[in-house]
């Protein structure tokens, strides 16, 4: 089963194109809502379709622990299990495992860790990660890698050798032709290590390349610099995926630097905390200033929440801890980012991306931002 990536238009380093998968095509650049446990929190699959979502990310670590990848396989795979017939991407479980710093042990073969659910002991190796992802059946799967602290050169260098060895083992373990295995470029904030990692993975002739280890503590400037280093090195004919990045300004800056795929929990997570994305930043609906505010979250947004409800009503739902608050704010936040991606694709096709990005970022930076 072939995966075909086509670039239709370029504007500077940005690209607008199409990625064909066994479960449909993606227009790129694309933002993927995160459905960690086979669900995007507070959203039905039909709601996601209506908002314009085309790709969903699910989490290998969490689904392995609950309900179990073998059960999902026996029930027909992740698409059928979660009622989503579009493309799905699964991460390798590496980021979550390495986040368990107090309960995991790394060696050259893999990682032993304790479940955050019940403390039981488990082990991930490159082969295990691929086996789990093949059971889940996502269209795009990721190599098992180590996500190290970005600023410790000596540790990142040692980690990189391990990640590259694991990449080859993942490639050897893969058996399903209907899944595209992406490599993950690591290397912290260090140019020589990032370039070494990119070139090593390019030699494996993979169908796509992810950039990992960002949005984990480095500055925005450092993130942009890493993308600037990698853009001329990564194969132009292959999709590029910036993992775990989804703040609006980061999406714009990523697209400017040739990124095709993004994912992030930000829009759903801040929704559950009463915050909404707006063109100037974000607003916290818990604030008293919205008590009698009859305007929608964003007068220019076409989502159901903005077309129907006032900020005052949404604030009431947030303070009352009503489930509908999470549903409506998640609806808006996802639509905000999906509209942003639509606008970025249109700007690339028109050759006006630089102007669009300048306007967006100036507005985003200079208006009031939000008290979390």
Domain membership of residue 212 (yes or no) is yes
**Are 297 and 203 members of one domain?**
no
**Are 136 and 170 members of one domain?**
yes
What whole-number distance in Å separates Cα of residue 110 and Cα of residue 162? 9
Domain membership of residue 209 (yes or no) is yes
Average pLDDT score over residue span 66-93:
97
Residue 87 — very low, low, confident or very high, per pLDDT cuts 50/70/90?
very high
With a cut of 80, say whether residue 143 has pLDDT above it: yes
pLDDT value for 56: 98
What whole-number distance in Å separates Cα of residue 109 and Cα of residue 137? 24
For every residue of 152-192, DSSP letters joined together read -HHHHHHHHHHHHHHHHHHHHH---TTSEEEEEE--TT-HH
pLDDT value for 364: 85
Residue 335 — very low, low, confident or very high, per pLDDT cuts 50/70/90?
very high
Average pLDDT score over residue span 352-364:
95
Instruction: Report percent pLDDT > 70 for the chain.
Output: 98
What whole-number distance in Å separates Cα of residue 129 and Cα of residue 119? 20
Average pLDDT score over residue span 241-246:
97
Domain membership of residue 121 (yes or no) is yes
Average pLDDT score over residue span 266-270:
97
Domain count, the chain: 2
Residue 1 — very low, low, confident or very high, per pLDDT cuts 50/70/90?
low
- The residue from 264, 297, 315 where one domain ends is 264
With a cut of 80, say whether residue 372 has pLDDT above it: no
With a cut of 70, say whether residue 369 has pLDDT above it: no
Average pLDDT score over residue span 236-242:
98
pLDDT value for 357: 97
**Are 126 and 180 members of one domain?**
yes
With a cut of 60, say whether residue 351 has pLDDT above it: yes
**Are 61 and 207 members of one domain?**
yes
**Are 186 and 306 members of one domain?**
no
With a cut of 70, say whether residue 359 has pLDDT above it: yes
Domain membership of residue 372 (yes or no) is no
With a cut of 60, say whether residue 366 has pLDDT above it: no
**Are 134 and 208 members of one domain?**
yes
Domain membership of residue 299 (yes or no) is yes
Domain extent, residue 212, equals 4-264
Q: Rounded to two decimals, what is the model's pTM?
A: 0.96
**Are 39 and 169 members of one domain?**
yes
What burial letters (b/e) apply to 287-319, b meaning 16+ CB within 10 Å?
Answer: eeebeebeebbbeebebbbbeebbbebbbbbbe
Across the chain, mean pLDDT equals: 95
With a cut of 50, say whether residue 370 has pLDDT above it: no
Active site members: 91, 263
**Are 280 and 190 members of one domain?**
no
Domain membership of residue 111 (yes or no) is yes
**Are 253 and 131 members of one domain?**
yes
- The residue from 198, 230, 264 where one domain ends is 264
Residue 367 — very low, low, confident or very high, per pLDDT cuts 50/70/90?
very low
**Are 187 and 309 members of one domain?**
no
CATH of the domain at 174: 3.20.20.105
- Closest by CA to 64, choosing from 41, 87, 103, 93, is 93
- Tens-place pLDDT, residues 164-219: 999 999 999 999 999 999 999 999 999 999 999 999 999 999 999 999 999 998 99
- Closest by CA to 137, choosing from 38, 223, 46, is 38
Asked if 143 and 166 touch (Cβ cutoff 8 Å), the reply is: yes
pLDDT value for 365: 61
With a cut of 60, say whether residue 368 has pLDDT above it: no
**Are 153 and 37 members of one domain?**
yes
Domain membership of residue 202 (yes or no) is yes
**Are 59 and 129 members of one domain?**
yes
- The residue from 264, 284, 305 where one domain ends is 264
Domain membership of residue 371 (yes or no) is no
């Amino acid at each position: 089963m072939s995966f075909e990536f086509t670039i239709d238009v370029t504007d500077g380093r940005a690209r607008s194109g199409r990625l064909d998968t066994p479960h449909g095509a993606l227009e790129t650049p694309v933002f993927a809502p995160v459905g960690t446990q086979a669900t995007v929190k507070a959203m039905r699959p039909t709601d996601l379709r209506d908002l314009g979502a085309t790709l969903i990310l699910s989490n290998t670590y969490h689904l392995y622990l609950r309900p179990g990848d073998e059960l999902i396989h026996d029930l027909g795979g992740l698409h059928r299990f979660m009622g989503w017939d579009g493309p799905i991407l699964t991460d390798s479980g590496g980021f979550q495992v390495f986040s368990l710093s107090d309960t995991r042990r790394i060696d050259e073969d893999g990682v032993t860790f304790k479940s955050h659910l019940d403390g039981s002991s488990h082990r991930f190796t490159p082969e295990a990660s691929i086996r789990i992802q093949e059971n889940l059946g996502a269209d795009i799967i990721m190599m098992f890698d180590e996500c190290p602290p970005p600023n410790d050169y000596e540790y990142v260098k040692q980690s990189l050798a391990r990640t590259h060895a694991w990449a080859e083992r993942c490639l050897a373990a893969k058996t399903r032709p209907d899944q595209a295995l992406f490599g993950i470029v690591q290397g912290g904030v260090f140019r020589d290590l990032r370039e070494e990692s990119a070139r090593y993975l390019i030699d494996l002739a993979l169908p796509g390349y992810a950039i990992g280890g960002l949005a984990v503590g480095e500055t925005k400037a450092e993130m942009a610099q890493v993308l600037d280093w990698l853009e001329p090195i990564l194969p132009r004919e292959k999709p590029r995926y910036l993992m775990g990045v989804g703040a609006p300004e980061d999406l714009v800056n990523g697209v400017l630097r040739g990124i095709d795929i993004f994912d992030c929990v930000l829009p759903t997570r801040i929704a559950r905390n009463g915050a909404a994305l707006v063109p100037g930043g974000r607003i916290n609906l818990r604030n008293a200033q919205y008590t009698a505010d009859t305007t929608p979250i964003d007068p220019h947004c076409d989502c159901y929440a903005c077309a129907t409800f006032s900020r005052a009503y949404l604030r009431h739902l947030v303070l009352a801890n009503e489930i509908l608050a999470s549903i409506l704010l998640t609806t808006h936040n996802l639509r905000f980012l999906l509209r942003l991606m639509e606008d970025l694709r249109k700007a690339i096709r028109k050759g006006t991306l630089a102007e669009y990005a300048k306007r967006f970022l100036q507005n985003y930076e200079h208006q009031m931002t939000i008290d979390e």
